[in-house]
Amino acid sequence: MASHGSVFGAMLQEFEGAARILNLDPGLWKMLTHPKRQIIVSCPIQMDNGEIEVFTGYRVQYNITLGPAKGGIRFHPDVSLDEVTALAAWMTWKCAVAQLPFGGGKGGIICDPTRMSRRELEALTRRYTAEIVDLIGPEKDIPAPDVNTNEQVMAWFMDTYSMHVGHTSTAVVTGKPVEMGGSLGRREATGRGVMITTREAARHLGFDLQGATVSVQGFGNVGSVAAALLAQLGAKVVAVTDWKGGVYNAAGLDIPALLDYTQQHRSVDGFPHAEALDRPAIFGLDVDVFVPAALENQITVENADQIKAKLIVEGANGPTTPDAHALLHKRGVFVVPDILANAGGVTTSYFEWVQDRHGYFWNEAEVNEKLEAKMVQAFAAVLETAERYKIDMRTAAYIVAINRVATVTKMRGMYA
């Protein structure tokens, strides 16, 4: 069904292990391994130099059994239909693990936003929105920010959709500016979820995060927030890498200072209060906790043996290949999988959607309190499943998710 090296193929491998343990009905198996809808659109825009460029955009609605599709939109040169389909599938399982009334979706445009002006990015966002406008909506499909997209992109997206439907529709996207219906606490939510699951996992494994050493791959929104919150719990974040370079300090990095530095320099590279660290060296550091929070397929069979951390918490989507995960599990490394560890973002997106639809907004403490409860509950459900079946946390998370989607699929029956 998927070629070797395919991101969707990796998802299918993970799905298969859980489906076999569940003894999933063959018909349900087929239904849950095929995306409901894959949309490819052409987005012509006029560039600043007057020339017309045509960009390719995707939107995949993988499964909408539990509710409207939910998932981000990424702008990246390497976006592909295979990747977007895999990410939409992971969103399906992530929403199910977190017990949210959403299905899974994902979108992307093949472009290099670092080479585009603000006007070009706005034109591209609006054209892409217009191309998929009939397929999205608060009860159909709710996009959000992802790699290289942000609050501003969501504001353009929401405005374009609202112009098409003839009224302001704040609930069509999440991750918007607070001034136009965004939720307090949303920007930090994914990193906060990573912190909560790291804390719960450390508690389960019997070690204290106070003084524990942590390395973080990727210092974007997820990695930087997770690092800051773990440091607040007393953990020592000793190493961070990003797209350009890396930094290391055995005594612990000054995370607030590093955040200030990256605001100015757009990278951790060259941070003066640390040693330079080669990006691949992040995998071999002798630390208690490793947080991969960059892109997918970072932990592979080539580097999995180098990892010394006893706990890996996946801030990114799909950062570990299935074969690498098998090696880690064999070695006794405890992995909190992406569909659980980084579910804080979509959980707070759900809170944002609820607030928009009700027109009543919570303060940040309420949002964080609700997120804490949801993440702790989800972690406990996956851990209980892992212990019951004597399996790893990734397979357990898939079992929880697949079981929830399959149960509702059976209850709903098949429309023919």
Mean pLDDT of the 387-405 span: 96
Q: How high is the pLDDT of residue 234?
A: 96
Same domain, 263 and 122: no
pLDDT for 40: 98
Question: Do 77 and 217 belong together in one domain?
Answer: no
DSSP 8-state symbol, 250: T
Whether the predicted model's global pTM rises above the 0.85 cut: yes
Residues of the chain with pLDDT > 90, as a percent, come to: 93
Q: What CATH number is given to the structural domain containing 79?
A: 3.40.50.10860
Structural domains of the chain, count: 2
Q: What is the mean pLDDT of the chain?
A: 95
Edge-to-edge strand ranges of the sheet holding 334-336: 275-276, 246-248, 236-241, 213-217, 289-292, 311-313, 334-336
Residue 27 lies in a domain: no
150 and 47 both lie in a single domain: yes
- State residue 3's pLDDT score: 41
- The continuous run of DSSP H or E covering 44 comes out as strand 37-46
* 246 neighbors 323 (Cβ within 8 angstroms): no
What pLDDT shows up at residue 1? 36
Residue 26 lies inside a defined structural domain of this protein: no
What are the DSSP E strand ranges found in 98-235?
103-110, 141-145, 213-217
Residues 202, 154 within the same domain:
no
406 within some domain: no
- 117 Cβ contact partners less than 8 Å away, ≥ 6 residues apart: 48
Asked whether residue 337 falls in the same domain as residue 193, the answer is yes
CATH number assigned to the domain comprising residue 309: 3.40.50.720
Give the count of alpha carbons within 13 A of 310, CB side only: 12
Question: Which of 341, 367, 398 marks a domain boundary?
Answer: 341
Active-site residue set: 106
**Euclidean distance between CA atoms 353 and 186, whole angstroms:** 11
| Residues 281-292: tens digit of each pLDDT | 999 999 999 999
Domain enclosing residue 225, as ranges: 188-341
Question: Cα torsion for 354, 411, 96, 404, to the nearest 10°?
Answer: 140
- Structural domain ending residue among the three candidates 140, 168, 196: 168
pLDDT tens-digit map of 1-48: 334 468 899 889 889 999 999 999 999 999 999 999 999 999 999 999
Quick: pLDDT tens for 35-63: 999 999 999 999 999 999 999 999 999 99
